Structure 1
Amino acid sequence: MTERIGEDSSYLNGMSTTGTRTRVKDVSPTSGMCPICIEECPILCEISLSAFRGREVLYPVPEEFGTSTAASLKNYGLDWSDLNILSRLRGAEGIEEDSDKALFENVDISSKMGGIPLKLPIATGAYGSTRVAKRHWDALSIGAALAGGILVVGENVCRMDPDARFSGGSIDYSKDMEYRVKKFREFWDGKHGDISVQTNVEDERLNVESYVISNLDVDIIERKWGQGAKAIGGEVRISDLDRALTLKKRGYIVLPDPEKHSVQKAYKDGAIKSFERHSRVGMPERKDFLEDVDQLREKGAKKVTLKTGAYRPSDVAWTMRMASDAKIDYITFDGAGGGTGMSPVPMMNEMSTPTVYLEAQILKCARILKEKGKYVPDISMAGGFIQESQILKSIALSNFDGEPFIKSITMARAPITAAFKGSYFAELAEKGKLPSRFKKKYGEKVENFFVTASGLKEKFGKDYNKIPPGAIAVYTYLQDRIGTGLQQLLAGTRKWRLDLINRDDLAALTKKASRVTGIPQIDEIDSDVYERILTD
């Protein structure tokens, strides 16, 4: 397998992420520009669209904000496809060696992260104040509850809530936050998974954690130090001038400044169509963080967790040390680079550490801490996961001596896509506008085209009608597809329990994958067995 990094440099001047393209396909490998750029070209490439819209072109198509998610286009030269899962012929671990019992459907894919039981090793990404999260909250929250995973309410929800009430600089009431927590609990079994509330600098200043702990009985508080899609704080896009003015008055950074007369005129004239709302960047310090974690527990948080981004190795090591010293319950690391639609495209493509490289760094830190007898928090890995094979490889890579450091995978964009599709196709069905091929193959009613619908109806009876199609889609994707896929792959390794999968079950397909992860290349695996087995 050849090295692949750099072969996609043509994306520099034409990206579907920003709605730009080049006039010709054979662009310059250095700049991404057409070899001959002509004056009368009507095509909008990155350069030409930027000449008209400036900073807007730093972001995914602004018109799609709230109805899309976005990710990087860059090939990082190493991903989960550079590792293969090794199958086995004989034996069985975690179950009796009996062909009538060692069935893949008997594989236990449950996990426990930070002491929280999970039906399958999944936590959702933090769905916060972005419009896409709010529009699909019922689907995401109910789907996660049904699947038995952890659901994370993201940053900025309270301060962004139009119906929020404040006093003395603190939040007294948030209709949006209350709704989000209650909606998850409608279908939560009270045992598997839970709901977590993430807090950034803005939330801390508003004392959001005290509000959700005391008023909404939230047990898990997640502090946020960043994410893989960007390293400059949370952002959303605002299309209404009055809303932009309100958010600035509430203390947010809003760009361009909606209070400026020139900006208001440009908005009314149609030159400025939307505003960016930015959160402040956190500046963590050891003493402050340790005290903060203690205070959160004193306030009643039963679990304290941390979400961080894909920063350089020194920051990874420092973060792991802080997480160990504070004895937080678990930590989520987010590899580059995708998000819920408002991360700068150049930042998603060109900044931060890709997921496999990042996990290798994290595992070095975890092993050093463990060898020194220090506390190692459970870890959830995020960064572009969509399939069971990626999930299994990530967990297996973290198991050196009997217990994986990584207890779950955090997924954000993929569950949103499932919610999109479920809601949209149900709407098409209601209008009688389903694509003919889809209708012919899968039926024209929700009960027909969702394979899990009948089982949910049997389980919940009349309450089944409270489950929106988007939630059925999220549940079907997480539980039926990924859950079953994990069982099949684990059975193929002859491991009938998730925590039994380990590094010996992996093989590297490239020298780079082997060098970065420490997993032997596939031609080096079991190299001593031939003589031993064949001549013994």
Structure 2
Amino acid sequence: ESLTCYIQDLRSLGAKRVMLKVGGYDRKELELVLRIASAASVDLVTFDGAGGGTGNSPCRMMNEWGLPTMFLESIVWDILDKMRREGKSLPGTAITGGFSLEDNIYKGLAFGAPYISLVGVCRAPMAAAMFSKMVGEGIKKNDVPVSVKKFGSSAEDIYHDMQDLNLMYGKEAENIPAGATGVFSYLNRVSFGLRLMMALNRKFSLGFIDRTDLIPLTESAKGLLKGPWL
């Protein structure tokens, strides 16, 4: 009740979008959050599984505590399916925690369909930003890290995506921080890879991705799918 009132207060103050982010709580609390979000017309609820970190989390908590992301996504899916059958409005829902590249992002979207339509990434783009910042500093000092020297010694040599940035921003692209260039390059790679996987699965729009795209390799995974899978 207090959370619903707080959301209403935020809207009365002019908030156009209200979003919640929660960790891997038990099933009762997860359902409570979703029902509050439905009643209060929350725009997005993000569920963060292990390994991922919600709030001021120590590394051990981020990596080893809480529900593994796929188990968390399975529970959230079941609750949303139950609410749909009850005729409740469903909030936008995202899953995050351990996603980094296009293959596991695709699996997250397929496993969550049709209720969970967003996958969040955090540590991977942060790593891209931090490493690229170091590369940028190396370029300025003419001391590029050994691991990237094989690509060249300038931003244009190392980052193929600089071509895209030059087309979009012209000479201003030279002023874009190296860390931002790294994030742009990482997201470009993930975007291309995801589109490629969609094409290979003959899914030419995100709305067509569903659980029929998944084949379980273990009994545990088969149990999570709860139905025909091949």
TM-score range, shorter chain: over 0.9
- In structure 2, do the counterparts of structure 1 residues 516 and 314 end up closer, same or farther at CA, with 3 Å as the change threshold? same
Match of 2:125 in 1: 415
Aligned equivalents of 1:346 and 1:471: distance in 2?
28
Amino acid at match of 2:202: R
Matches within 5 A, 1:124-523: 287-339=1-53, 343-399=57-113, 404-436=114-146, 438-439=148-149, 441-478=150-187, 480-518=188-226, 520=228
Instruction: Kindly tell me the number of residue pairs found equivalent between the two proteins.
Output: 230
TM-superposed CA distance for 1:398, in Å, is 2.1
- In structure 2, do the counterparts of structure 1 residues 341 and 324 end up closer, same or farther at CA, with 3 Å as the change threshold? closer
Q: Secondary structure at the match of 1:303?
A: coil
Match of 1:140 in 2: none
TM-superposed CA distance for 1:463, in Å, is 2.4
The answer to whether the 8 A contact 1:309-1:334 is kept is yes
Unmatched 5+ stretches in structure 2: none
Instruction: Give the root-mean-square deviation of aligned CA atoms.
Output: 1.9
Query: Normalization by structure 2: what TM-score?
Result: 0.93
Amino acid at match of 2:209: I
Q: Secondary structure at the match of 2:18?
A: strand
**Once the two structures are superposed, what CA deviation does each residue of 1:75-132 show, in whole Å capped at 9, x if it has no partner?**
xxxxxxxxxxxxxxxxxxxxxxxxxxxxxxxxxxxxxxxxxxxxxxxxxxxxxxxxxx
Amino acid at match of 1:482: V
* Percentage identity across paired residues of the two chains: 37
- In structure 2, do the counterparts of structure 1 residues 474 and 365 end up closer, same or farther at CA, with 3 Å as the change threshold? same
TM-superposed CA distance for 1:504, in Å, is 1.1
* Higher-RCO chain (CA-CA 8 Å, sequence separation at least 6): 1
Unmatched 5+ stretches in structure 1: 1-286, 526-536
Higher strand share: 1
TM-superposed CA distance for 1:350, in Å, is 4.5
Amino acid at match of 1:309: G
Aligned equivalents of 1:433 and 1:514: distance in 2?
50
Query: Normalization by structure 1: what TM-score?
Result: 0.41
**Once the two structures are superposed, what CA deviation does each residue of 1:302-357 show, in whole Å capped at 9, x if it has no partner?**
11111111111111111111111111011100001334996334533543111000
- Greater Rg, structure 1 or structure 2? 1
- In structure 2, do the counterparts of structure 1 residues 453 and 340 end up closer, same or farther at CA, with 3 Å as the change threshold? farther
- In structure 2, do the counterparts of structure 1 residues 350 and 494 end up closer, same or farther at CA, with 3 Å as the change threshold? closer
Q: Secondary structure at the match of 1:381?
A: strand
TM-superposed CA distance for 1:407, in Å, is 2.1
Higher helix share: 2
Q: Secondary structure at the match of 2:131?
A: helix
TM-superposed CA distance for 1:436, in Å, is 4.5
Q: Secondary structure at the match of 1:477?
A: helix
Aligned equivalents of 2:145 and 2:196: distance in 1?
32
The answer to whether the 8 A contact 2:52-2:96 is kept is no
